[in-house]
């Protein structure tokens, strides 16, 4: 009798476990996509493909093992002619794009995705300032949602340390311990947000060959602290002008200390070589989470700080002729050109 009862208990536990265990499944319907077209699921935070399937008769099916959810991905074709951002959860999810374009397909089966969809519909057509206000309200009102953690990680440098900490303190333990939460906390801990008229904040980072370089190595020089990356179009367009400025003023005590927000060293090095950049370069290859970027509160690149010989920040985001004019003021004897 005891063995029978014990067996029934085990059977009950196993049965309950099987009922509660959820696995990810995404079943989709599309329109206008050719048979044989591949769709890819990319994990956004790591920029890597986690699975792919072939579309047949405008239908597809992903049954992928996901280590942790909710997980933000982009569902896309190879050339990104069709794409859709999604929050995946370990549930049966359905993607219905039969009566709309791929990007605006209706997706069900994920609480995080449902919340994100409804919020996007509410804010898509708003001007940027109004949208930012709505996003801040969303984060405040949904402190347990991973969507809020993602939004705050994106806008922390835009909203500033004080507001970011205020919103972060409202988060659930799960959100604080998420990859987004860890990124936000790093910003809160590192950010100094130095202003014009204040002394620069020193930092150290590896250069292209792994040696440590410090901003303070340029004491007694006029230094342009430049933030950029190889995949930043405006940065690359400005580089030829910056090279001319460097060549003109370097011999008179002007230096450039460039911090890259790249994540791939090969891309970073290739851009330096192609653009023929002769100044000091450093990076920790952590993208927007670059520690110097967090210290200085960089929310978009290109950006820069001009630091005088006394270590005081005297200007920010100077480019082209405005930078040349400022350097001419600081070093007037270089204002005469020689053939």
8 Å CB contact between 187 and 152: no
Indicate the average pLDDT of the chain: 91
Mean pLDDT of 263-286: 97
Q: Are residues 231 and 317 in the same domain?
A: yes
Tens digits of residue pLDDT in 162-182: 999 999 999 999 999 999 999
Tens digits of residue pLDDT in 197-248: 999 999 999 999 999 999 999 999 999 999 999 999 999 999 999 999 999 9
Q: Are residues 57 and 172 in the same domain?
A: no
Mean pLDDT of 265-288: 97
Tens digits of residue pLDDT in 291-325: 999 999 999 999 999 999 999 999 999 999 999 99
Q: Are residues 232 and 324 in the same domain?
A: yes
pTM of the model: 0.83
- The structural domain count of the chain equals 3
Rounded Cα–Cα distance for residues 46 and 286 (Å): 11
Tens digits of residue pLDDT in 3-37: 544 444 444 444 444 444 578 999 999 998 999 99
Q: Are residues 225 and 257 in the same domain?
A: yes
8 Å CB contact between 320 and 238: yes
Q: Are residues 243 and 321 in the same domain?
A: yes
Asked if residue 118 is part of any domain, the answer here is no
pLDDT at 215: 97
Query: What is the extent of the structural domain holding 27?
Result: 20-110
Mean pLDDT of 81-91: 95
Q: Are residues 90 and 213 in the same domain?
A: no
Asked if residue 181 is part of any domain, the answer here is yes
Residue whose C-alpha is closest to residue 243's, from 256, 260, 228: 256
Crossing angle (nearest 10°) for helices 111-123 and 146-159 = 40
Q: What CATH number does the domain containing 86 carry?
A: 2.60.40
Q: Are residues 229 and 327 in the same domain?
A: yes
Q: Are residues 150 and 256 in the same domain?
A: no
Q: What CATH number does the domain containing 245 carry?
A: 3.40.30.10
């Amino acid at each position: 009798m005891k063995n029978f009862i014990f067996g029934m208990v085990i059977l009950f536990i196993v049965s309950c476990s099987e009922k509660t265990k959820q696995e990810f499944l995404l079943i989709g319907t599309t329109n206008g996509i050719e048979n044989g077209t591949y769709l890819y699921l990319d994990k956004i935070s790591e920029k890597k493909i986690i699975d792919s399937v072939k579309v047949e008769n405008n239908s597809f099916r992903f049954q992928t093992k996901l280590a942790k959810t909710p997980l933000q991905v982009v569902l896309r074709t190879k050339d990104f002619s069709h794409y859709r951002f999604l929050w995946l959860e370990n549930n049966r999810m359905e993607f219905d794009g039969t009566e709309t374009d791929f990007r605006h397909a209706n997706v069900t089966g994920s609480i995080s995705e449902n919340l994100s969809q409804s919020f996007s519909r509410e804010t898509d057509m708003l001007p940027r300032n109004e949208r930012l206000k709505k996003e801040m309200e969303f984060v405040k009102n949904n402190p347990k949602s991973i969507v809020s953690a993602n939004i705050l990680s994106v806008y922390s440098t835009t909203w500033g340390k004080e507001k970011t900490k205020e919103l972060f303190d409202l988060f659930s333990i799960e959100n604080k311990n998420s990859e987004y939460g860890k990124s936000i906390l790093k910003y809160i801990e590192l950010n100094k947000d130095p202003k014009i008229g204040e002394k620069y904040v020193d930092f150290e980072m590896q250069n292209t060959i792994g040696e440590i370089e410090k901003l303070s190595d340029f004491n007694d020089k006029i230094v342009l602290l430049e933030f950029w990356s190889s995949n930043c179009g405006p940065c690359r367009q400005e580089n030829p002008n910056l090279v001319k400025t460097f060549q003109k003023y370097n011999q008179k005590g002007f230096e450039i200390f460039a911090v890259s927000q790249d994540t791939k060293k090969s891309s970073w090095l290739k851009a330096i070589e192609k653009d023929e950049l002769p100044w000091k370069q450093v990076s920790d290859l952590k993208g927007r989470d670059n520690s110097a970027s967090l210290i200085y509160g960089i929310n978009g690149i290109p950006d820069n700080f001009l630091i005088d010989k006394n270590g005081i920040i005297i200007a920010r985001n100077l480019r082209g002729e405005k930078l040349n004019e400022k350097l001419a003021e600081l070093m007037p004897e270089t204002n005469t050109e020689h053939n």
